[in-house]
Structure 1
Amino acid sequence: MWSGKFNLLFISALLVFVSLPSEGDESNQTSSPDLWADFPEETSAGNDWSDTESASSPWNVLIFTEVLVGGFTNEGLFEDNLYGDDASALENRWQVNANRYFGTSFFNASIELLADEVDDNHLQLLVRELYVDHNLRKDLSLRAGQQVLTWGTGDFVFLNDLFAKDWQAMFSGRDDAYLKASSASIKLTYYHNVANLDFVWTPIFTSDHYINGERFGYFSPMSGETSSQTFTAKEPDTQLEHGEFAFRLFKTVDGIEYALYGYRGFYKQPLGFDPVEGRNTFPRLNSWGASVRSSLGAGIANMEIAYWDSREDRSGDDPLIPNSKWQTLLGYEQELIQKLTLGMQWWLQITENYDAQKANSPQPDYHQSKYHHTLTARITYLTLSDKLTWSLFSFYSPSSDDFYLKPKVSYRRDDHWLFELGGNLFGGADEYTQWGQFEESSNIYTRVRYHF
Structure 2
Amino acid sequence: MGSLSGKILSVPDFPAISGNVAATLLSLSLILWGAPLQCNAADLLPSSRTTRANTTAQVAQASTLDDLFGEGDSHVDATPQPFRQTASWRGFSQLEFADTIASPRHASKLRLRSELSNLGQLSPSVKWKLSARLDYDAIYDISDFYPRQVRRDQRFELFLRENYLDFSVADFDIRAGRQHIVWGEMVGLFFADVVSAKDMREFVLPDFDILRIPQWAVRTEYSKNDFHADFVWIPFASLDEIGRPGADFYPFKLPVAAPVSFLKEDRSGRNVASSNYGVRLSQLVNGWDVSAFYYHSLDATPTFYRVSQPWEPLLFQARHNEIDQAGGTVTKDLGVAVLKGELVYTHGRRFNVIRPTAPDGLVRQDTIDYALGLDFGLPLDVRLNLQFFQRVYLGYDHDIFQDKWESGGSVFLQGDLWRDFQGQILLIHSLNRDEWMLRPRLTWNLARNWKLAVGADIFNGPPTGLLGRFDHSDRVYTELRFSF
TM-score, with length taken from structure 2 = 0.73
Matched residue, 2:212: 180
Q: CA RMSD in A?
A: 3.5
Q: 1 CA distance for matches of 2:37 and 2:474? A: 39
Matched residue, 2:366: 324
Matched residue, 1:210: 242
Shift of 1:186: 1.4
Code of the residue aligned with 2:414 in structure 1: it is T
Code of the residue aligned with 2:198 in structure 1: it is K
Code of the residue aligned with 2:454 in structure 1: it is L
Shift of 1:160: 2.1
Matched residue, 1:101: 121
Query: Is 1:301 the equivalent of 2:335?
Result: no
Query: Partner of 1:191: helix, strand, or coil?
Result: strand
Contact in 1 for aligned 2:269/2:298 (Cα 8 Å): no
Query: Is 1:415 the equivalent of 2:448?
Result: yes
Query: Is 1:380 the equivalent of 2:411?
Result: no
Matched residue, 1:280: 318
Is the radius of gyration larger for structure 1 or structure 2?
2
Q: 1 CA distance for matches of 2:189 and 2:292? A: 17
Shift of 1:221: 5.4
Shift of 1:380: 0.3
**Structure 2 counterpart of 1:144, from 152, 176, 182:** 176
Contact in 2 for aligned 1:247/1:262 (Cα 8 Å): yes
Query: Partner of 1:241: helix, strand, or coil?
Result: helix
**Structure 2 counterpart of 1:368, from 402, 407, 415:** 402
Contact in 1 for aligned 2:454/2:479 (Cα 8 Å): yes
Code of the residue aligned with 2:190 in structure 1: it is F
Change (3 A) 1:312 1:32: closer
Relative contact order, CA 8 A, sep 6+: which one is greater? 2
Matched residue, 2:348: 310
Q: How does 1:332-411 map to 2 (within 5 A)?
A: 332-354=374-396, 357-358=397-398, 364=399, 367-385=401-419, 387-411=420-444
Q: 2 CA distance for matches of 1:213 and 1:130? A: 31
Q: 2 CA distance for matches of 1:237 and 1:14? A: 37
Shift of 1:215: 3.0
Code of the residue aligned with 2:436 in structure 1: it is F
| Deviations 1:123-166, CA, capped at 9 Å, x for gaps | 3322111111111x211111111112212142233222112122
Matched residue, 1:62: 90
Q: 1 CA distance for matches of 2:258 and 2:417? A: 40
Code of the residue aligned with 1:350 in structure 2: it is V
Q: How does 1:36-75 map to 2 (within 5 A)?
A: 58-75=86-103
Contact in 2 for aligned 1:153/1:291 (Cα 8 Å): no
Matched residue, 1:45: none
Change (3 A) 1:207 1:285: same
Shift of 1:383: 3.2
Identity across matched positions, percent: 19
Code of the residue aligned with 2:410 in structure 1: it is T
Matched residue, 1:23: none
**Structure 2 counterpart of 1:291, from 324, 329, 341:** 329
Q: 2 CA distance for matches of 1:444 and 1:111? A: 28
Change (3 A) 1:413 1:445: same
Matched residue, 1:112: 133
* Structure 2: tracts of 5 or more residues without a match: 1-18, 47-83, 141-150, 309-314, 352-357
| Deviations 1:293-350, CA, capped at 9 Å, x for gaps | 101241101122221112779xxx8751441011221110112332221101100111
Query: Partner of 1:252: helix, strand, or coil?
Result: strand
Shift of 1:207: 1.5
Q: 2 CA distance for matches of 1:312 and 1:437? A: 19
Contact in 1 for aligned 2:456/2:475 (Cα 8 Å): yes
Q: 2 CA distance for matches of 1:352 and 1:395? A: 24
Code of the residue aligned with 1:255 in structure 2: it is G
Query: Is 1:132 the equivalent of 2:168?
Result: no
Q: 1 CA distance for matches of 2:340 and 2:299? A: 25
Matched residue, 1:252: 284
Q: 2 CA distance for matches of 1:402 and 1:321? A: 24
Q: 2 CA distance for matches of 1:174 and 1:228? A: 28
Query: Partner of 2:186: helix, strand, or coil?
Result: coil
Q: 1 CA distance for matches of 2:434 and 2:414? A: 25
Q: 2 CA distance for matches of 1:419 and 1:133? A: 35
**Structure 1 counterpart of 2:466, from 434, 444, 451:** 434
Query: Partner of 1:437: helix, strand, or coil?
Result: helix
Q: 2 CA distance for matches of 1:9 and 1:421? A: 27
Q: 2 CA distance for matches of 1:63 and 1:160? A: 28
Shift of 1:15: 6.5
Query: Partner of 2:209: helix, strand, or coil?
Result: helix
Q: 2 CA distance for matches of 1:405 and 1:412? A: 23
* Structure 1: tracts of 5 or more residues without a match: 21-26, 34-39, 42-55, 359-363
Of 113-122 and 188-197, deviating more is 113-122
Code of the residue aligned with 2:374 in structure 1: it is Y
Contact in 2 for aligned 1:226/1:437 (Cα 8 Å): no
Query: Is 1:190 the equivalent of 2:228?
Result: no
Q: 2 CA distance for matches of 1:293 and 1:102? A: 35
| Deviations 1:381-434, CA, capped at 9 Å, x for gaps | 11345x322111121002132111222111122332111112221111x22211
Contact in 1 for aligned 2:349/2:365 (Cα 8 Å): no
Q: 2 CA distance for matches of 1:227 and 1:437? A: 16
Change (3 A) 1:29 1:219: closer
Q: 2 CA distance for matches of 1:203 and 1:305? A: 26
Matched residue, 2:12: none
Q: 2 CA distance for matches of 1:11 and 1:160? A: 39
Contact in 1 for aligned 2:198/2:240 (Cα 8 Å): yes
Contact in 2 for aligned 1:205/1:236 (Cα 8 Å): no
Q: How does 1:150-169 map to 2 (within 5 A)?
A: 150-162=182-194, 163-169=196-202
Contact in 1 for aligned 2:121/2:128 (Cα 8 Å): yes
Q: 1 CA distance for matches of 2:431 and 2:283? A: 35
